[in-house]
Amino acid sequence: MSLDPSFVGRTYPPTAPYQVGREKIREFATAVGATDPAHHDPAAARALGHPDVVAPPTFPVIVTMAAGQQIVEDPALGVDYSRVVHGDQRFAYTRPVVAGDELVCVNTIEEVTNRGGHGFLTTRTDVSTVAGEPVVAVWSKIVVRGEA
């Protein structure tokens, strides 16, 4: 089944808020080898002008992957997740994610193409605080492999 290109421009409802915890940031930083003290020590983060520990740059993938379920589970789009491989990911920050943030995500489908028997899906997830302050935009491209 090919992906439906008429989905380009579709925006999904905002997700439930995600509370960014200090320990979650520390755990993620440790897992990805981010050793900067601002990721682990509130005093080091405050010395740099942040209210609490700062998440590593790829931390938003935690909330955007969960938010992406809205798209993947939309049966009309035609994504067979068992055939998905990751194609690309990029981040455009307005400001860093810090412990204490309450984040919501809004997903938009930016591109859908089908070629060579494979589907290519590019999404943008706008991550903001519950107060509406933009934090980061995250683009993700997945490839839905065709039948062999």
pLDDT tens-digit map of 7-26: 999 999 999 999 999 999 99
- Ordered DSSP codes for the chain: ----GGGTT-BPPPPPPEEPPHHHHHHHHHHHT---GGGT-HHHHHHTT-SSPBPPTTTTHHHHHHHTHHHHT-TTT---GGGEEEEEEEEEESS--BTT-EEEEEEEEEEEEEETTEEEEEEEEEEEETT--EEEEEEEEEEEPPP-
**Mean pLDDT (whole number) for 91-119:** 96
**Mean pLDDT (whole number) for 18-36:** 98
Residue 1 has pLDDT above 70, yes or no: no
Task: Calculate the average pLDDT of the chain.
Answer: 95
Looking at this protein, which amino acid is placed at residue 104? V
pLDDT tens-digit map of 126-148: 999 999 999 999 999 999 998 86
**Mean pLDDT (whole number) for 79-104:** 95
pLDDT tens-digit map of 40-58: 999 999 999 999 999 999 9
Question: Over pLDDT 70: what percentage of the chain?
Answer: 99
CA-to-CA dists, residue 90 to 5, 28, 30, 61, 93, angstroms: 22, 18, 21, 10, 10
